[in-house]
């Protein structure tokens, strides 16, 4: 059994309605499902507005799902509220994108971390203070830093504090919502390496959300690609990044800088803008911008299916095999 099981998760926001028209909804998530194994890092990528952060916030119940199931170690958490939900929060945590806005400027670092320990650890005041020092050392800071306020730290140091706070309650898994996007490139590498080291020490699982495929490929065992509230493709990191089987993934990879010989095959320029999640296109949601679209793409919505001969590699494309560069090479040799 997987540590985390998400099935048909939906999050719709009311978008208002005209006097005589039906009520409209922004379909931020529209049927997302995946598994996360214990000790695994699962990457999630996609354009801004595709639903990545909404998915992360819904899983940790900062947003109430409209429908669907979220099971942690077999226990349903999508429907929990009040005291039951607070009790479960010690088993899952979140690292936020903005290291400047995620910490209360009026609280010392000690108070910020101690707050989580006081709620979930059951330790007394003395033991909690010692634990705060241990957590700061674990993320590469000094125990004496606990007396400082957030404005006395750099962005990278603040993110380390955010990571320490997330680890304070010994969670089973953590949603890392673009934890390095607001940091300098040199600091990004330090934070990514820190997360990998912490996973090796604690066994915590990560859902790592980002828009930089190079970073996601480095840290993740598997990657999911999201488009307009749905998963377009998912699979092992190396397989997905070296031989994508969805036109959208292929376009994302063509836009990512790479120093790997043979990785870049020319930039793919997509037509138009991302459609509105209030009124998504019929059929495949990517079809209005897809360079490979066929008549069936505008009529029939493709299902996310496992590809033949590619264990664990899924694509929601009618022509996934044709998208694959390996398939193209095989047909040219024939």
d(CA 6, CA 319): 26
For the chain, give every domain's residue range. 244-334
Written as one string, the DSSP assignment of 47-100 is -TTSSHHHHHHHHTTSS--SEEEEEETTEE-TT--HHHHHHHGGGEEEE-S-TT
**What's the rounded mean pLDDT across residues 131-159?**
94
DSSP β-bridge partners for residue 231: 226
- Decide if pLDDT at 333 tops 50: no
- Decide if pLDDT at 321 tops 50: yes
User: Rounded to the nearest 10 degrees, what angle do helices 185-202 and 155-167 cross at?
Assistant: 20
pLDDT digits (tens, 9 = 90+) for 272-289: 788 888 889 999 999 999
pLDDT digits (tens, 9 = 90+) for 181-240: 888 888 999 999 999 999 999 999 999 999 888 889 999 999 999 999 999 999 999 999
Give percent above pLDDT 90 in the chain: 72
DSSP β-bridge partners for residue 44: 209, 224
3-state helix, strand, coil in the chain (%, to 5): 35, 20, 40
When mean pLDDT is compared across 26-40, 257-271, 288-302, the lowest value belongs to 257-271
Q: How far is CA 51 from CA 31, 98, 117, 189, 329, in A?
A: 11, 18, 31, 25, 34
pLDDT digits (tens, 9 = 90+) for 69-119: 999 999 999 999 999 999 899 899 999 988 888 889 999 999 999 999 998
DSSP β-bridge partners for residue 5: 35, 71
d(CA 27, CA 166): 29
Please calculate the CA angle 5-297-291 and round it to the nearest 5 degrees. 100
Q: What is the model's pTM?
A: 0.90
């Amino acid at each position: 059994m997987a540590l985390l099981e998400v099935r048909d998760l939906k999050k719709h926001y009311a978008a208002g309605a005209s006097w005589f028209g039906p009520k409209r909804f922004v379909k931020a998530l529209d049927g997302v499902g995946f598994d996360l194994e214990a000790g695994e890092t699962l990457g999630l990528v996609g354009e801004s507005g595709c639903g990545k952060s909404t998915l992360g916030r819904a899983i940790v119940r900062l947003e109430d799902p409209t429908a669907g199931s979220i099971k942690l170690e077999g226990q349903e958490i999508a429907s929990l509220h009040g005291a039951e939900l607070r009790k479960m929060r010690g088993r899952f945590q979140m690292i936020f994108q903005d290291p400047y806005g995620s910490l209360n400027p009026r609280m010392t670092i000690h108070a910020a971390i101690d707050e989580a320990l006081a709620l979930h650890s059951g330790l007394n005041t003395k033991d909690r203070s010692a634990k705060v020092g241990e957590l700061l050392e674990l993320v590469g800071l000094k125990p004496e830093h606990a007396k400082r306020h957030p404005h006395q730290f750099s962005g990278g140091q603040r993110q380390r504090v955010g990571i320490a706070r997330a680890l304070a309650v010994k969670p089973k898994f953590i949603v890392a919502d673009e934890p390095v996007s607001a940091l300098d490139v040199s600091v990004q590498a330090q934070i990514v390496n820190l997360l990998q080291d912490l996973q090796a020490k604690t066994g915590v699982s990560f859902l790592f959300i980002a828009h930089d495929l190079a970073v996601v490929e480095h840290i993740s065992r598997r990657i999911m690609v999201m488009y307009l509230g749905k998963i377009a493709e998912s699979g092992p990191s190396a397989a997905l990044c070296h031989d994508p089987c969805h036109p959208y993934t292929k376009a994302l990879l063509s836009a990512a800088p790479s120093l790997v010989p043979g990785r870049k095959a020319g930039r793919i320029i997509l037509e138009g803008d991302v459609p509105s999640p209030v009124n998504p296109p019929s059929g495949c949601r990517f079809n209005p911008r897809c360079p490979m679209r066929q008549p069936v793409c505008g009529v029939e919505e493709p299902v996310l299916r496992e590809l033949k001969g590619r264990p664990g590699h899924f694509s929601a494309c009618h022509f996934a095999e044709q998208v694959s560069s390996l398939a193209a090479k095989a047909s040219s040799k024939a």
